[in-house]
Amino acid sequence: MRYLLFFIVFAFVSECLAQKTFRFSGQFESNSQYYINEIAENIRDKQIASNNYLDLLLGYGKFEAGISAESYLPNPLLGYPIAYDKTGISKFFVRYASDKFNLTLGDFYEQLGSGLIYRSYQQREIGVDQSSFGANLHFLPTDFLRFKLIYGTPNFYFAKLDTRFYGFDSELDFQLSSASFTLGFSALLKQEKFTDKQTVQHNNSKLYSTRLSGSIKNFDIKTEYAFKTPDANVENNYNTKKGQALQISPSYSKRGFGINLNFRAILNMSVLNERELDANGNGRRDEDILNYKLNYIPSISQIHSYNIYNIYTYQAKENNEIGYSASVYYKIKRKTALGGKYGTKIRVSSSVFYTQTKIDRYTDFLKLNEKLFNEHGIEIDKKINKKFKLITQYTYQEYNKFLVEDNLENREIVYSHILVGDLLTKFNRQHSLRTELGFMFNKNDLGNWGTILLEYANSKGWSVFVSDQYNFGTEKKHYYLIGSAYSYKNARIAITYGETRDGYTCVGGICKFLPGAEALSLSLAFKF
Amino acid sequence: MKNILLGLLLIAGTTVWAQKTVPAIKIKDINGKTISSKQFGNDGKPYVLCFFATWCKPCLQEMNAFAEEYEDWNEESGFKLIAVSVDDSKSNARLKSLVNGNDWPFEVYSDANSNLKRAMNISSIPYALIIDEKRRVVYEKVSYTAGAEFELYKKFKKLINK
């Protein structure tokens, strides 16, 4: 580490002698809530909660230095650990980047392969920040060969966890006649002392993965296989079995048509930065489970953007899942009988997931056991004329609440038929109104659901919306939201008032469970 | 380490400041080939850089809105859009078929671990930037509302006609 630092300082002085100019940029983001309902008041000791982030980047020639500050005062938002109600520097790094070398010292984010054995990333909207502190070196000796070396300690808000990891990744591009391929290999060693002296467990866990992707004219394929030695943790019931994962994703596409399949089988692949989820002995923090993950195994099912789908969000079972997600995109050409004047876009999608093995066995790989989730749907996207654009969707869903949510009360599969209509009315180039209607016919759970949203927007960046989600079954309850947002150049402000349900809030398919709250929310973001 | 960083920032204190540019970050094209973002360009003319994801509804609205006007604008003023997807392994397997299936006529790249997005300090998507012939950021616009593509195109044409 010391030599690497010496190298950075030496190279920086050389850059200074070359008299380059400085680059400076940054961003500020603030999300605050004022809670109105009693549940939220019972969880938080103050009615106001606020999460704030400031990132600064300074560049000089091939150098870059960055620093981030975070503040969770007077309380962090619901769903974040109350222990971190403070302000401080959370991250800093220095980086040297040339065409062949890229060296980062300090806090970094990285991914080996597709992330099956290691990925650290940031998704602040749902409180995910998995940066690690250490060293990260990229070396690109030729334009067809790439290497990565990483060493680090995972961060947890302002603290550092006791785990250490050492990782390696290599990637080689090659051609066979008209086909181009990329072959990759990654390895990672995770070291974490096992503190329970009653049982003999492994301090070290080794993870390997190999991948091959190819592109031949209109046909593409990505494959990856990962293997891990035992890593006993609270999520896998402290088992001492090996784990493996296989992912195969072929696709074919040409102008106006695309089809893809994403198959994945995972067995016993959950690896945590701290096996007991107790943040250096400060108590177990299940609400922050996403910040403890060393590798990245998200759900690969379709990601939906309409509110009605938030009732059942499928979460991947990192220790026991097999399944696929597939979609077909087709654009019917304009000026044809079915395409009309502007063309019509059709998307058909299908996702099916099963468990592979009985709970606590972790032995059967590439086998089908019990159904977790099925979903099949069709979407038609049609521009009717210059004024109207209509998107309609139908989806059939089967959701095993008992297995997906570990919900012991509900042992029957929940069946749903979902209909969505989304009409965009453009009064002219400046003013538009979006009307979204969703309905879910539901069996074996809370009953039917309906959603409505009306959103006016102008082209200068101002919008205002009102929405409602209503349960026609056992709850018979409205969840109203009203809000407005304005964006100008590099700044955005949004204000929302209303009540949300207990449930998963998802960004890009990564979902975090948040308790329901009646709140006034204000978010501010700007970049400079 | 913190002291060294502060020291470096202090040394930096006295020199000339440059305008923001597109940093050189390794990303992949839609066929999986690794390239550097410093290769982005429009034959020495300005271009529009746009960050999006296949799961982000306003992003798809914006991309489809650009796709509808793209040929006309390209013919009229040499307009070029470079779209950068921040989809990770959860969804980037479907990126190419979505791009081709929707018949998007512009270049699309994949920034799977958000390295370019982070290097440009972009926190939320969609995010559009106009980049001039010297790779400098001359206009930025966060989020998308219907019709915002025409506002952006006005700014682009103004820059071209300067």
- Here the ipTM equals 0.89
Query: Which of the listed ranges A18-27, A186-195, B69-78, B119-128 does the model predict with the highest average pLDDT?
Result: B69-78
A129 token code pair: 């920040």
| Contact check, Cβ <8 Å, B120/A300 | no
How far is residue A251's CA from residue A328's CA, in Å, rounded to a whole number? 10
Record the tokens describing residue A94, joined without a space.
């220095």
- Residue A1: the pLDDT is 60
Rounded distance between C-alpha atoms, residue B67 and residue A39, angstroms = 47
* pLDDT for the residue B1: 55
Q: How far apart are CA A471 and CA A469, in angstroms?
A: 7
Chain B nearest C-alpha distance from A489 (Å): 4
Report DSSP state, residue A336: B
pLDDT at A151 over 50: yes
The answer to whether A444 touches A415, Cβ cutoff 8 Å, is yes
Please give the C-alpha separations between residue A275 and each of A87, A161, A187, A194, A362, in angstroms, as whole numbers: 27, 11, 20, 8, 18
Supply A450's token pair: 């309906």
Q: What whole-number distance in Å separates Cα of residue B99 and Cα of residue A253?
A: 9
What is the dihedral sign for C-alpha A119, A121, A123, A128? positive
Question: Which B-chain residues 109-138 have CB contacts (< 8 A) with chain A?
Answer: 112-115, 118-124
Q: Where are the beta strands (DSSP E) in A157-203?
A: 159-160, 164-176, 179-191
Return the number of other C-beta atoms located less than 10 Å from residue B75's C-beta.
Answer: 9
Q: With bands split at pLDDT 50, 70 and 90, how would you rate the model's confidence at A82?
A: confident
Nearest CA in chain A to B119: A57
Nearest to A230 by CA among A200, A205, A198: A205
Question: Average pLDDT in the A77-87 region?
Answer: 80
Residue A458, φ and ψ in degrees, nearest 5: -115, 160
How far is Cα A410 from Cα A187, in angstroms, rounded to an integer?
41
pLDDT tens across B102-114, in order? 999 999 999 988 9
**Mean of the pLDDT values across residues B58-83?**
95
Of B114, B119, B146, the CB nearest to A121: B114
Q: Are strands A243-254 and A179-191 parallel, antiparallel or unpaired?
A: unpaired
Q: What's the confidence (pLDDT) of residue A73?
A: 85
For residue A58, which amino acid is it?
L
Q: Which two structure tokens, joined as six digits, stand for A77? A: 């938002």
CB A369 within 8 A of CB A394: no
CA angle A196, A199, A204 (to 5 degrees): 75
Q: What part of A 485-504 touches B (C-beta under 8 Å)?
A: 485, 487, 489-492
Q: Which DSSP symbol is given to B10?
A: H
Mean pLDDT of chain B: 88
Measured between beta carbons, the chain B residues lying within 8 angstroms of A463 are 145
Digit-coded pLDDT (tens) for A200-218: 567 899 999 999 999 998 9
| pLDDT number for residue A123 | 87
pLDDT surpassing 50 at residue B14? no
Question: Two tokens at A172?
Answer: 């080689």
Residue A74, pLDDT above cutoff 90: no
Facing residue for A258 by CB, picked from B89, B98, B146: B98
What is the pLDDT confidence band of residue B6, given thresholds at 50, 70 and 90? low
Fold assignment, A303-508? Porin (2.40.160)
Query: Quick one: average pLDDT of A328-335?
Result: 93
Is pLDDT of B15 > 60? no
Least confident range of A274-288, A313-327, A372-386: A274-288
Residues of chain A with CATH 2.40.160: 62-298, 303-508
pLDDT confidence of residue A40: 60
Instruction: Measure CB to CB from residue B18 to each of A23, A67, A508 and give the nearest one.
Output: A23
Torsion from C-alpha of A116, A119, A125, A126, nearest 10 degrees: 60
Beta strand segments in A197-238, E: 204-216, 219-228
Cα–Cα dist A220/A17, whole Å: 47
Calculate the average pLDDT of chain A. Answer: 90
Nearest CA among A394, A191, A381 for reference residue A273: A191
* pLDDT digits 0-9 by tens, A420-448: 999 999 999 999 999 999 999 999 999 99
Q: Are A421 and A436 in contact (CB under 8 A)?
A: yes
CATH T-level fold of A62-298? Porin (2.40.160)
Q: Which residue in this structure is represented by tokens 């070398």?
A: A101
> How high is the pLDDT of residue A84?
76
**Per-residue pLDDT, A6:** 65
Confidence of residue A515 (pLDDT cuts 50, 70, 90): confident
Give the 3-state DSSP-derived string for A424-460, with helices as H, strands as E and coil as C. EEECCCCEEEEEEEEEEEEECCCCCEEEEEEEEEECC
* Residue of A197 and A340 predicted with greater confidence: A340
A117 touches chain B (CB under 8 A): no
Distance, CA of A326 to CA of B112 (rounded, Å): 20
Which residue type is seen at B35? I
In order of start, what are the domains of chain B with their CATH numbers?
18-160 (3.40.30.10)
The single residue listed with the structure tokens 């997600």 is: A325
The yes-or-no verdict on residue A144 having pLDDT over 50 is yes
Alpha-carbon distance of A486 to A464, in angstroms, equals: 9
pLDDT at B7 over 80: no
Averaged pLDDT, A145-162 = 93
Q: What is the pLDDT of residues A445-462, one digit of tens each?
A: 999 999 999 999 999 999
Cβ A518 vs Cβ A36: under 8 Å:
yes
Q: Work out the pLDDT band at A504, boundaries 50, 70, 90.
A: confident
- Asked if B155 has any chain A CB less than 8 Å from its own CB, the reply is no
Nearest CA in chain A to B88: A114
Would you state the pLDDT for residue A407?
67
Distance in angstroms (rounded) separating the CA atoms of residues A267 and A278: 24
Give the integer Cα–Cα distance in Å for B7 and A449. Answer: 59
